[in-house]
Amino acid sequence: MLSPLLCLAVPGEAPVTRALSTAPLSSDERVPIGSASGLGRLATCIENCEIIARAEAIDPLLDLLRGGSNVQKEQYVWALSRLTSSNVCCGLIIDDEAISLFVELLRNGSVDGKLHAACALGNAAVIGVRHSIVTHGAVSPFVALLETGRNHQKDQAVRTLANLTVDKKNRAQITREEGILPLAKVLQDGTPCQTGQAARALANLAIDERNIDAITQAGAIPSLVSLLRGSNDKKDQATRALANLAFKPDSRSVIVNAGAVEPHVSLLGMEGYSFKMLAVRALANLALNAESRRPIANSGAVGFFVERLRDESDYQRSHAARALANLAIGEECHTTVIQGRAIPVLVTQLSCEDEDLKEKVALALANFP
pLDDT of amino acid 228: 93
Residue-by-residue DSSP string for 283-329: HHHHTTSHHHHHHHHHTTHHHHHHHHHTSS-HHHHHHHHHHHHHHTT
Tell whether the model's pLDDT for residue 171 goes beyond 90: yes
Residue 151, judged by CB atoms within 10 A of its CB (0-12, 13-18, 19+), counts as exposed
Task: Identify the DSSP state of 351.
Answer: T
Kindly report the backbone phi and psi dihedral angles of residue 203, in degrees, each rounded to the nearest multiple of 5, phi listed first. Answer: -60, -40
Q: Can you tell me the mean pLDDT for 286-306? A: 92
The mean predicted confidence, pLDDT, of the chain is: 88
Sorted by sequence, the CB contacts under 8 Å of residue 81 that are 6+ apart come out as 116, 117, 119, 120, 123
Model confidence at 157, pLDDT cuts 50, 70, 90, reads: very high
CB 89 within 8 A of CB 83: yes
For residue range 72-119, list pLDDT tens digits in order: 888 899 999 999 999 999 999 999 999 999 999 999 999 999 999 999
Task: Identify the DSSP state of 332.
Answer: G
pLDDT of amino acid 10: 42
pLDDT of amino acid 153: 96
Tell whether the model's pLDDT for residue 22 goes beyond 60: no
**Which range in 37-41, 54-58, 217-221 is most confidently predicted, on average pLDDT?**
217-221
Q: Can you tell me the mean pLDDT for 65-76? A: 85
In this structure, how many other beta carbons lie within 10 angstroms of the beta carbon of residue 26?
11
pLDDT of amino acid 32: 56
Higher pLDDT residue, 230 or 89?
A: 89
Beta bridge partners of 6: 18
Helix (H, G, I), strand (E, B) or coil at 129: coil
Percent residues over pLDDT 90 in the chain: 70
Tell whether the model's pLDDT for residue 319 goes beyond 70: yes
Q: Can you tell me the mean pLDDT for 41-69? A: 89
Using CA atoms, how far apart are residues 256 and 228, in angstroms rounded to an integer?
Answer: 13
Percent residues over pLDDT 70 in the chain: 90
Structural domain spans, the chain? 179-259, 260-369
pLDDT of amino acid 273: 64
260-369 topology per CATH: Leucine-rich Repeat Variant (1.25.10)
Kindly report the backbone phi and psi dihedral angles of residue 41, in degrees, each rounded to the nearest multiple of 5, phi listed first. Answer: -70, -30
Q: Can you tell me the mean pLDDT for 303-331? A: 90
pLDDT of amino acid 38: 82
For residue range 249-289, list pLDDT tens digits in order: 999 999 999 999 999 999 988 876 678 889 999 999 999 99
For residue range 182-213, list pLDDT tens digits in order: 999 999 999 999 999 999 999 999 999 999 99
